[in-house]
Amino acid sequence: MRVLTLARDLSHAHGEAVNLLQLLEALHRAGHHIDVVRQESRYFETDDAVASRVMAVGDRVWTVGHTDHSVFWTPPPWMRPWVDRAPGRLRRLLGILDDSVRTVPSVVSSVLRAGRTRPDVVLEVRQFGTTWSGPVARLTGAALVCQVNVIIDARPRRDKILLHPADRVVAVSRFVADELVRLGIVPRHRVRVVHNGVDPSAYPYADGPVRADAVARLGLDPALPVVLYYGQLNPVKGVDVLLDAAALSVRPYQLVVAGRYTDAGYEDTLEPRFAALAGGPVRVVRLGHHEDVVPLLHAADVVVLPSSREEAFGRVIIEAMSTGRPVVASRIGGIPEVMDGGFEDLLFTPRDPADLARVLGSVLGWRADDPTLGVRSRAHVEERFTLDDAARGMAAVLAEAAVERAGRRPGWRARRRRAGADTRVNPTLHPVQTSDPAV
């Protein structure tokens, strides 16, 4: 099966890029042919290591310009005088239309570069990117599969337009799938659920001497528990709630915060809270963005994901649990789905510092109180959230969409597509998880 995909914002700080990188590598190892179209980064600084790995999986690689609709659309100068006075819905519609027109050169160049070796399926990992991937799929005769990683601030009318071209929509959790259907964005029969996954060997379990070495390298106190938050610093991630919970703690521990601000205004929210913790029982250790988070995880006793808004999945959870670290997380969005099966007690009420402080306090001493918790956390990932599982699920959806799209074409084109489909991936042999048993 030949898959064409677009790679954007290639940075370790961008979860979408990391998921795409690991998924493409897994599909490549499984024998599928990958064509990679690269767009220069718009929101994150390009990481050369990530970019080179993504490019390495491509049979063919080329670069294009504008490709997708931005929720931060800025009208061109000649439109601004009257767009600024337009109602909000009209502005959003104009944004989609303007981005679609500006995408035309990228669409044309991609179709021409594809040439006679056309893809069986176009894989899109950003719903706003269908302004590029939709036309490319139709003009090359390929199926379109779109993965939805974000459901925050969904706008049914806009998102219904953007996802309309997709033959299949892959939701990263049942929560996302149910929201897409509930909001009328996508009909149930076109939605499939494929959870994100990680390679357990890339996030190895570690304790004892390895943990002691990681603690020493970060200059942490080995006598105090280590609580870790890593990721973007913005209101969605709820770091302010974590700092407020730390202010309520009477038990001493070390709070490691690793990440960079991705919302300028949020700095004014967090900095006073950081300052207020000085001299208290909780010692705050601030680190910048880390490309390799494994040493941070190995130094940690507990990892926290204090999201204030609906997470579609929560990749941090499975990265941390793979290393044997329990995770305390908000009971919101797709997070409870990832932590079901014995870890529900580690969930707290979203935006409630007191409840977070309570749950965090109950788990700080897990090595003595519940010494198998780390091993159970690792097993949870190995049983349900491995990268191989995610790749098999995605390959099954890609094959399903490609075969269905080929079957719609009359004559020799349909026979050629069906003959070229990769029969080693059979959707009936690798059932795709769905939020509806009838799907």
What is the largest distance, in Å, between two alpha-carbon atoms of the chain? 76
The predicted-structure confidence for 78-127, as pLDDT tens digits, reads as follows: 666 766 677 766 766 766 666 667 778 888 888 888 877 889 999 998 88
Amino acid at 168: R
Q: Classify residue 39 as left (phi > 0), alpha (psi -120 to 50) or beta.
A: beta
Pair of tokens at residue 125 = 């990992």
Element (H, E) at 127: none
The predicted-structure confidence for 172-205, as pLDDT tens digits, reads as follows: 999 999 999 999 999 999 999 999 999 999 999 9
- Residue 225 pLDDT grade (very low, low, confident, very high; cuts 50, 70, 90): very high
Element (H, E) at 347: strand 347-348
The whole-chain average pLDDT of the chain stands at 86
Cβ atoms within 10 Å, residue 367:
13
Q: What is the pLDDT of residue 434?
A: 44
Asked if residue 430 has pLDDT above 90, the reply is: no
| Phi, psi angles (nearest 5°) of residue 286 | -100, 125
Asked if residue 403 has pLDDT above 50, the reply is: yes
CA distance 209 to 205: 12
Q: How far is CA 139 from CA 32, 167, 303, 402, in A?
A: 22, 14, 46, 14
Asked if residue 21 has pLDDT above 90, the reply is: no
Asked if residue 426 has pLDDT above 50, the reply is: no
Classify residue 291 by its DSSP letter: S
Q: What is the pLDDT of residue 436?
A: 41
Q: Which domains does the chain have, with CATH numbers?
A: 2-197+387-420 (3.40.50.2000), 200-384 (3.40.50.2000)
Q: What is the pLDDT of residue 88?
A: 67
Pair of tokens at residue 252 = 């001493």
- Residue 418 pLDDT grade (very low, low, confident, very high; cuts 50, 70, 90): very low
Q: What is the pLDDT of residue 431?
A: 36
Extended beta strands in 259-343, E state? 282-287, 302-305, 327-330
More confident residue, 74 or 157: 157
**Closest to 171 (Cα-Cα) out of 145, 192, 144, 187:** 192
Q: How far is CA 70 from CA 52, 95, 266, in A?
A: 25, 8, 21
Q: What percent of the chain has pLDDT over 90?
A: 62
DSSP codes of every residue in 220-268: --TTS-EEEEES-BSGGGTHHHHHHHHHH--S-EEEEEE--BSSTTHHH
Residue at token pair 């919101």:
332
Q: What is the pLDDT of residue 289?
A: 86
User: What number of H helices and E strands is found in the chain?
Assistant: 18, 13
**Closest to 147 (Cα-Cα) out of 131, 165, 170, 130:** 170
- Residue 155 pLDDT grade (very low, low, confident, very high; cuts 50, 70, 90): confident
Element (H, E) at 178: helix 174-182
Q: What is the pLDDT of residue 69?
A: 53
Strand order in the sheet with 327-330: 282-287, 253-258, 226-230, 302-305, 327-330, 347-348
**Closest to 320 (Cα-Cα) out of 337, 305, 335, 342:** 305
Radius of gyration of the chain (CA): 23
Contact present, 1 and 32 (Cβ < 8 Å):
yes
- Residue 280 pLDDT grade (very low, low, confident, very high; cuts 50, 70, 90): very high
Contact present, 258 and 285 (Cβ < 8 Å):
no
CA distance 33 to 267: 44
| Phi, psi angles (nearest 5°) of residue 226 | -115, 120
Mean pLDDT of 361-376: 96
CA distance 150 to 135: 22
Q: What is the pLDDT of residue 409?
A: 61
Q: What is the pLDDT of residue 146?
A: 96
Give residues with Cβ within 8 angstroms of 338, minimum separation 6: 173, 195, 313, 314, 317, 318, 385
